[in-house]
Structure 1
Amino acid sequence: MRLKVLLTTVFAVVALVLSACSGSGGGSGSAEDYPSQDLDWTIAFGPGGGNDMMARKLVQIIQDEKLYPANISVKNREGGSGATGWGYLMSKAGDPYNISTTSGSFLTTPLQSDPGWTYKDFTHVGLMATDDALLLVDGKSNIKTFEDWVSFAKGKGKVVVGGIGTVNVDFILQSLIAEHAGYEIEYVPYNEEGQVQTSLLSGALDAMVSNPGSILGQVEAKEMTPLLFTGKERLAALPDIPTGAEKGMADLPSMPRGLILPPEVPDYARDWWIKTMQQVVKSDQWTQYLEQNYLTKDELWGDDFTAYLEKTTAEFETTLKEQGAL
């Protein structure tokens, strides 16, 4: 009888040890050995846009500074205004070897539909910057100023405009600008920057919005004409382009550029990434990236980032309801 009890106890202990060792895939480990595995970095949009550019720059800095000890695999998982990519990250709950960057769609996509997640589900690492936008038309157009654009838009009755995401910051900007200037829009959403640019240059769109870092090359090549900048101050690279505030549109929203982990990852993983990203944003490479791509430095970490997401989501929801999008 004693032997039977002893064997039962031994088998139970062995089972617990094996269970602990097997863990839940990539999510197993401890604070002492994290990180020690390859990292899967999801970009929730296609190549060429602001989210893609920032994610790849962050990975480059992390690798150049030797801050991560294993391989980092970067993959674009675009679709559904970010729903596909962040849905993939959601499916990796508890696994600290998956990560993704955020944009406005991270907040607005769940407001419009039910992708199975909201910003609340994820582990929030930090906000690192915000990204403003340019309103642009085809460079071959006779429209050269914002006033030209407003006259054209009012004369056409309804203009066709585009941007990234269905009810993303791009949609909010197009709607707010149109409402203020007194014209109507038909908004066309895209999953990646290249699609928007092609549509504008082919005549399928009358105007588009894009982040300066994604579009300045086309502006310099005279392929596109910028009409308005949504930031608080004029761009140094485009000193003749007025801001929204100059045209009576204060507090136009910016694109939040942050970093998130899957739900339910260990606290030590979030803490490691906060500490690591605080090193990244102090690097010369990151400073140069912000300057070259005209992003605004804006840093919030952990719980402060969570509070920012909550406040910004509420603001976006109010605006989208006012615009009839929700």
Structure 2
Amino acid sequence: MSRLTKTHVSPGAPGSGTFRRTLGLRAVAATAALPLLLTACGGTDDGVAEDGTWAPTQAIEITAPAATGGGWDTLARTSARLLEEEGLVDHSPQVVNKPGAGGAIGWGYIANNAGDPHKLFVTSPPILLVPMAGDSDHDHNDFTPIARLATDYMVYLVAADSDIETFADLAGQVESGDLSVGGGSGPGSMDHVALAGALQAAGADATQANYIPFDGGGEALTSLLGGHVDAAVVGVGEALGMLESGDLRAVGVSSAERLDAVAEVPTLVEQDVDFTFDIWRGVMGPADLTEEQIAYHETLFADLMETEAWKEESARLGWTDAYQDSEEFGTFLDDTRGEFAEILTEVGLQ
């Protein structure tokens, strides 16, 4: 049996499970002279206060670079709703969907708004994988990391009446070419990598997988429900509704241990498939944000994650908190890109 284990967040990873605030020295150094300047000029209307801090002057817009119903959309809408309900912002955040090209349409929209601190977007592994496949004009270096928030996991799904009972059953049918598997990201991106890695670890030829890309996990699930594909691989949080209703059934989850949100679903590891894959989820902004603007946003999301409402929603969606501030998140993105390059080579996708 081929053995492939890649886990991108561990309990000891920087920022995992605890909130780390490292804003002080950077923000102070960047703004030490600003209060005097503002006082001399009578202040400004760009959100910078006399003490040198920054705050939004209008509603924050959070872009989900995919259609409604998927993981990006869920994170954007959950964050926007809770920021307002918990009174953490003065203006109600707005969510916009910019689907297409595996996220590249949304990234292009943000890239065209460089320097605008009122525009953010939610992100996950495709911000690294899609550019690596040559399918985006922008990569993570074209944007400003704000904060990593949470970790989700992949779930492997079939129709409720499918004769597939285990991941080994699914792997066998995929390798024979008799099974199509839908995913919410493009070829060579997150869902495809999670499928290919698991298949290889199960001893199957991952290159034989008939992977069908959709514009977000919501569309992949709808396609599976409608019988247009035979199986699907998406984030746990995306699939919970259809699992709870009994419309779909899961044959494996990519976490190292069972998740409370889908406690009845066995892990791949339990099924002798030595593969784990986590979906880190975070927030980024356009290029050219100031230190004060970055400090505001990363602290805002850290404060959000400390609320009981966030903790309850995270538990319901199967998310694990994994906060990192802007600097830590940027380092994490650089390091993880290298890990993904190794995985893509091992499963024949690069």
TM-score normalised by L of structure 1: 0.86
Q: State the match for 1:5 in structure 2.
A: none
- Of 108, 126, 139, 2:147 maps to 126
- What is the DSSP-based 3-state SS (H/G/I as helix, E as strand, rest coil) of the residue aligned with 2:164? coil
Per mean C-alpha deviation after superposition, the further-off stretch among 96-105 and 60-69 is: 60-69
| Aligned equivalents of 1:121, 1:147: Cα separation in 2 | 40
| Aligned equivalents of 2:113, 2:240: Cα separation in 1 | 36
- Of 276, 281, 288, 1:264 maps to 288
Q: State the match for 2:182 in structure 1.
A: 162
Q: State the match for 1:112 in structure 2.
A: 133
Matched, 1:234 2:258: yes
Residue 200 of structure 1 and its aligned partner are, at CA, apart by: 1.4
Counterpart residue type for residue 220 of structure 1: E
Contact 1:244 1:252 in 2 (8 A): yes
Contact 1:124 1:305 in 2 (8 A): yes
| Aligned equivalents of 1:198, 1:176: Cα separation in 2 | 24
Superposed, 1:1-326 pairs within 5 Å as 28-30=46-48, 31-32=52-53, 34-113=55-134, 115-154=136-175, 156-166=176-186, 167-181=188-202, 182-183=204-205, 184-326=208-350
| Aligned equivalents of 1:250, 1:235: Cα separation in 2 | 17
Equivalenced residues, count: 302
Q: Extract unaligned runs of 5+ from structure 1.
A: 1-19
Per mean C-alpha deviation after superposition, the further-off stretch among 31-40 and 202-211 is: 31-40
Question: Cα distance 1:238–1:259, how it changes in 2: closer, same or farther (>3 A)?
Answer: closer
Contact 2:251 2:265 in 1 (8 A): yes
| Aligned equivalents of 1:283, 1:29: Cα separation in 2 | 25
Question: Cα distance 1:310–1:41, how it changes in 2: closer, same or farther (>3 A)?
Answer: same
Contact 2:183 2:220 in 1 (8 A): yes
Q: Extract unaligned runs of 5+ from structure 2.
A: 1-40
Per mean C-alpha deviation after superposition, the further-off stretch among 92-101 and 210-219 is: 210-219
| Aligned equivalents of 1:114, 1:197: Cα separation in 2 | 23
Contact 2:64 2:72 in 1 (8 A): yes
Question: Cα distance 1:218–1:271, how it changes in 2: closer, same or farther (>3 A)?
Answer: same
Counterpart residue type for residue 96 of structure 2: K
Identity %: 28
Question: Cα distance 1:195–1:319, how it changes in 2: closer, same or farther (>3 A)?
Answer: same
